[in-house]
Homo-oligomer: A and B are copies of this chain.
Amino acid sequence: MLRPIRGFVGARIILILIQCVFVLSAVEVAATVHHFTWEVGYMFWAPNCIENPVMAINGRFPGPTIRAKAGDIIHFDLTNKLSTEGVVIHWHGIRQIGTPWADGTASISQCAISPGETFPYRFVVDRPGTYFYHGHFGMQRSAGLYGSLIIDVADGLKEPFHYNGELNLLLSDWWHLSVHKQELGLSATPMRWINEPNSLLINGQGKSNCSIAAATCNFTELQQCAPEVLRVKPKQTYRLRIASTTALASLSVAVANHKLVVVEADGNYVEPFEVDDLYIHSGENYSVLIKTDQDPTKNYWISAGVVGRKNKTSQALTILNYESVHAGKLPDSRPPDTPLWNDTIRMRSFVEQLRGLNNSPLPPPAGAHRHIVLLNTQNLYRGQTKWALNNVSLSLPATPYLGSIRYSLIDAFDANVPLESFPNDYDIMAPAANPNCTVSSGVYWLQINSTVDVILQNANTMSANTSEIHPWHLHGHDFWVLGYGDGKFVDGVGDKNFNLKDPPLRNTAVTFPYGWTALRFVADNPGVWAFHCHIKPHLHMGMGVVFALGVERVQGIPGQALACGLTAKLFMNTKF
């Protein structure tokens, strides 16, 4: 049995949302404050019809969909109901301007919340867009700790495109192997890879050993995995909000017989362009418009399939249900094919179509104050497999950087500053002659308000003829994507083709195999910010860097964010 969703504005009704509207006493401010009381715990659940422990918020998987308006204030009181694990939640795409301590990154912005304790996340959602939230401690995102976060335009304002209704697709991948075993295997010597996901999920629902398309799935026993049918009226325009919180998979999303018009990427408007299918990598968010202009007596498949890795996981499927048709009626056409997994040219041509909408902010024309090249390599460290940047693999410290830097606790992390480039003679097309890297918790110190260019330089892994996709995500800022190139970036050549006219602003961008990606951002948000590959096992194996800027200006860090490690020692007036 397929399960239709009710209502027009898409997504599930948020039962637990307690929304209070009040006017702050300050004369000049009138903001809506949303209060959420959340509890994080494990529960048994069958996202792909097979039961396993999943991380849930208030007993729901995925977590509740949050909806607010630009300018609203969000108060999340997050209580850890896990038994022995700490927890944090990162609000992916929210820049946390002025509230870097609310970014929800363990070891970076705060101490993990201990079992039984509550942390007060307080921040402004300053900008409309399609976002999501997720765990950012260990592999907890892979355990299912995520949900959608949708910000509408402020009252009285309009989106720069028209639509009649919304549909929400939160995409993820799912393993039967517990995250604890995944994590242990990734750290083992030799490393044990997690392999390809057992299932792909759309809004937390998938399948593992049956085919919806062939109608061999029986959902009556386990409604938890029954696809969430998306109901539409004919002859309307719908906004599909699509976010990918996959641990590993890059995906291609298509709606059979319907074109997709891309209008938003990571909370920024883009010049609309039409595609048959959307490439989306882990950490990315898009809005696409579809017209329900097809035969209204039929239903249509919506598919998401793996690209970029040799595909061993079945497509996730759900149904676009024209309202006059029974939701359980299967489409009479096949689900859309997933494009060839290794067609990098097609994949890259998709992101190269992304252009900032007219009047979008442009990068500072004077160029960058700082030029950081990050060579992406797979390495070994004492027999463990690592990912490294300029031969340095990130190891997070016990005391979160935001507190240790704010209070000058220089013993809290490595004083050595990581490198800003790699040797000229490094051959990115072959495995490194010496695969060994170093491990460090060192920080890149950025000048406040400086313009920073980052070149992400991809390379061969430790296996010959292999280079992987890495979607890089920046916290606290958006960046302009200035361009992509094949092979090694050459200074004075690669930058000649930078798009300074209408580059898209984003928080996540991909490096393609053996290629480079050029980003620019203005480091104007005081705090300590992760910049990392959004593939969970890659981050676990050290694929990230840390940017610190203007930390001396940061105010209002709540005590809970500092109640661990050396900051606890500093602030607790008792014997350590």
| A interface residues, Cβ below 8 angstroms from B | 42-44, 53, 83-87, 107, 111-112, 114-117, 137-140, 178, 180-181, 183-185, 188, 396-398, 556-560, 562-565, 568-569, 571-576
What's the least CB distance linking A540 to chain B, in Å? 8
Choose among B86, B117, B139, B559 the residue that contacts A115 (Cβ–Cβ < 8 A).
B86
What's the least CB distance linking A467 to chain B, in Å? 28
What's the least CB distance linking A441 to chain B, in Å? 10
Consensus secondary structure, chain A interface = loop
Complex Cα spacing A140 to B115, Å: 15
Contact A564 B565 (CB under 8 A): no
**Could you say how many copies of this chain the assembly holds?**
2
Residues of chain B within 8 A (CB-CB) of A556 are: 575
26 contacts between A and B (CB under 8 A): A42-B180, A44-B184, A44-B185, A53-B180, A53-B181, A53-B184, A84-B138, A86-B86, A86-B115, A112-B115, A115-B398, A116-B397, A117-B564, A178-B180, A556-B575, A557-B574, A558-B575, A559-B568, A559-B572, A559-B574, A559-B575, A559-B576, A560-B568, A560-B576, A563-B564, A571-B573
Complex Cα spacing A172 to B117, Å: 33
Choose among B114, B396, B574 the residue that contacts A114 (Cβ–Cβ < 8 A).
B114
Which chain B residue shows the least CB distance to A188? B44
Contact A568 B568 (CB under 8 A): yes
Which chain B residue shows the least CB distance to A120? B576
Complex Cα spacing A107 to B84, Å: 11
Contact B117 A565 (CB under 8 A): yes
What's the least CB distance linking A476 to chain B, in Å? 22
Choose among B83, B117, B185, B557 the residue that contacts A139 (Cβ–Cβ < 8 A).
B83
Residues of chain B within 8 A (CB-CB) of A575 are: 556-559
Contact A563 B572 (CB under 8 A): yes
What's the least CB distance linking A106 to chain B, in Å? 8
